[in-house]
Structure 1
Amino acid sequence: MPIFPGPARLFVSVATVFVLSACAQMDMHRGGHEPATHAGHAGHGVNMGAPAAASVALAARTVVDVTPQESAHVLGDMQNLLRSVGEINGALAARDWTTVERIASSLRPEKTMGSQEPAAMSFHAKLPAGWSSFGAPMHQGFARIADEARGGQRVDEVLRTLSQTTRQCVGCHAQFQLRAALR
């Protein structure tokens, strides 16, 4: 039996993606090098970073150097994905299958791949091996959600697929770190 039942499991998955996205953005602003600090009394810095074991795991991520334009493109995509997950959750709670299908369909692989924007093209040209092993299944998951919204309309199936889909996000954030060049 899962630790978290149905809706709670989905909330935990979405919250995890949100936290990892925020961490990725913070890593990019710091260049992925220094732990976050908070000035304490008498000017002493207090480390606000993760525990040592988590720091080692984060340090082991593959760094992908990006331009500010590529960074803006990727973070925009991540924010859209996170917003879409939230909207799907809300529509699913209301049993608004038309909205679930519309949002999930907009994230199908054929709708999201092949952008001709210069930042998207340059970013995709430098993707390291393994990146697509997270991105493609994530977009395929949204396609399955759209299909379920049009067909079976089973809440448990959408939640299961959404959980699997967001695990792709979590896995990618655990594997890769974007580092924006300062210009």
Structure 2
Amino acid sequence: MMGTAKNRVYLAAIVVLLLIIAAMAYKFVVVGSTQKAEDGRIAVLLEPGERNLVLREMRAFVESLQLMSDALSKDDMKGVAKAARTMGMARSQDVPLAMVGKLPLEFKKLAFSVHGQFDAIADDAETIGTTKHTLGQLSEVLQKCVACHNSYQLKAPTSK
């Protein structure tokens, strides 16, 4: 095979491999493992253990929100900060990377922004320390919870 023809074959192989990598990255980063749910939402397909992990995290969000609400009712900003900190960005490190790839991009954005907002609530409770400000932050977090629950459901993949 001539040098030019050989180079074209190599170039074609590189292009095909790059397209495969791009498709895999698109699937892993943007689309995730999803299908249209019967109720119009997006069903995120997770194995039972993965689904349980996400549901456990959601229950922990609700628990932290309850603890923060209780602390706010007592003007206990240290209690607010403590409860919020438990659900901050450090908590997002508990999610296995393989599972993150199954989550659609918008779901990931919502989840990571909620973790970040919990850190902001903790920081602001320690520095600003006003109930009204924190209630506004809690409202923003709850809006994201509502948006997520209105858009997604967690479902086990069906066997073929």
- In the TM superposition, residue 181 of structure 1 has moved relative to its aligned partner by 4.4
Instruction: Please say if residues 68 and 181 of structure 1, whose CA atoms lie closer than 8 Å, have aligned partners that are also in contact.
Output: no
**Partners of 2:143 and 2:102 in 1: CA distance:** 23
Which residue of structure 2 aligns with residue 162 of structure 1?
Answer: 138
Q: Structure 2 regions of 5+ residues with no counterpart?
A: 1-36
**Alpha-carbon contact 1:68-1:182 (below 8 Å) kept:** no
List structure 1 segments (4+ residues) > 4 angstroms apart after TM superposition: none
Residue 75 (str. 1) matches residue 38 (str. 2): no
Distance in 2 (alpha carbons) for counterparts of 1:83 and 1:68 = 22
- TM alignment of 1:111-126, pairs within 5 A: 111-115=90-94, 120-126=96-102
Contact 2:92 2:112 in 1 (8 A): no
Q: Work out whether residues 70 and 122 of structure 1, in 8 Å CA contact, stay in contact via their aligned partners in 2.
A: no
Normalising to structure 2: TM-score of the pair?
0.70
Q: Deviations over 1:126-179 (max 9, x none)?
A: 111211221122122212211121111110100000000111111011111111
Question: Relative contact order, CA 8 A, sep 6+: which one is greater?
Answer: 1
**Cα contact 2:64–2:86 (8 A) shared by 1:** no
RMSD value, Cα: 1.9
Is residue 98 of structure 1 aligned with residue 74 of structure 2?
no
Cα distance change on mapping 1:182 and 1:83 into 2, 3 Å: farther
Matched AA of 2:65: V
Partner secondary structure for residue 95 of structure 1 = coil
The structure having more radius of gyration, on CA atoms, is: 2
Counterparts in 2 of 1:32-47, with a 5 A limit?
none
Is contact 1:115-1:121 (8 Å) kept? no
Q: Equivalent pairs: percent with the same residue? A: 26
Q: Which deviates further from its counterpart, 70-79 or 100-109?
A: 100-109
What letter is aligned with 1:131?
A: F
Amino acid at match of 2:140: Q
Length, aligned pairs only: 123
Separation in 1, partners of 2:97, 2:108:
15
Show the counterpart of 2:20: none
Question: Larger % of helix: which?
Answer: 2
| CA distance in structure 2 between the aligned counterparts of 1:133 and 1:121, rounded to whole angstroms | 15
Contact 2:41–2:153 (8 Å) recurs in 1: yes
TM, length-normalised to structure 1: 0.62
Change (3 A) 1:132 1:181: closer
Query: Aligned partners of 1:149 and 1:129: how far apart in 2?
Result: 30
Give the alignment partner of residue 119 of structure 2, picking from 143, 163, 177: 143
Mapped to 2, the partners of 1:182 and 1:95 lie a distance apart of: 49
